[in-house]
Amino acid sequence: MIRPEVTMPTLTPAAATSAHSHAGKIAIAAVIALAITAFFYFDLGQFLSLAALKDNRDRLLSFTEANYISAAVIFILLYIAVTGLSLPGAVILTLAGGFLFGSVVGVLFVNVGATTGSTLAFLAARYVLRDAVEQKFGRWLGPLQEGFTKNAFSYLMTLRLIPLFPFFVVNVVSGLTRMNVGTYVGATALGIIPGSFVFAYAGQQLGTINSLKEIASPNVIAAFVLLGLLALMPSLYKKFSGKQA
């Protein structure tokens, strides 16, 4: 008896690419979720607190003095992990950077770690979430996307300079826009310098700090807000001058 041949359906190149992309998104989301869950399950946040930093400052300083290159690499990688996974503790790491490496070099290391980590978070949000968000809310997001794309650098600089906007939220929301990666990296690297310097400089006086509120005083926050508004001025000028024309 001759059995009829069964023809298996074949995926078109576009369908295969879509399936592969979908699997990749699920894998990335799963890895991120697993890492964040492990961080909180094992209570690793206890090591990224002001009390832990002050309790271990002598050992950290001794290790850094004896192993400067290794300490710098570990510090940058840790900062990348914290910002890339949107974990709490970036402020404490900035204080530690100022304490261990000095305010100037500490800001440099913080900038490398924070910019790299936030760019990874930006790219992950774009790859995993943007298509789904645009499909669902594209009709409402269109005008917002257009306006943000035209003034992306000024807008992002403002969000980075004003500490009222959580760092990880800005990373994720930026990934949902059509901002190019170069603009994101440039605005992030420049925008975080003032805040990083304030906390890194404070880290040099670690022994006198009892609370983060002592650093982020109303006057300091007001200064950041003013800087953020100044960064927004070119976009506002272009917008209103265009309307008048």
% of the chain at pLDDT higher than 90: 49
Cβ count within 10 A of residue 143: 9
Residue 237 has pLDDT above 60, yes or no: no
Q: Residue 6: is its pLDDT beyond 60?
A: no
Q: Bigger pLDDT: 68 or 241?
A: 68
Structure tokens belonging to residue 235: 């976009």
Quote the CA–CA distance of 53 and 46 in Å, as a whole number.
Answer: 10
Higher-pLDDT residue of 131 and 243 is 131
C-beta of residue 76 within 8 angstroms of C-beta of residue 112 = yes
Given this model, what pLDDT does residue 108 score? 97
Q: Mind listing the pLDDT tens digit for each residue in 14-39?
A: 555 666 778 888 999 999 999 999 99
The stretch 120-140 carries a mean pLDDT of 82
Q: How does pLDDT run across 164-211, given as a tens digit for each residue?
A: 778 998 998 889 888 899 999 999 999 999 889 888 988 888 867 777
Q: For 75-118, how does the pLDDT look when each residue is reduced to its tens digit (9 = 90+)?
A: 999 999 999 999 999 999 999 999 999 999 999 999 999 999 99
Quote the CA–CA distance of 104 and 242 in Å, as a whole number.
41
Q: Measured on CA atoms in the order 126, 128, 131, 133, is the torsion positive or negative? A: negative
Mean pLDDT in residue range 38-64: 94
Q: Is residue 241 pLDDT above 80, yes or no?
A: no
What pLDDT, on the 0 to 100 scale, is given for residue 5?
55
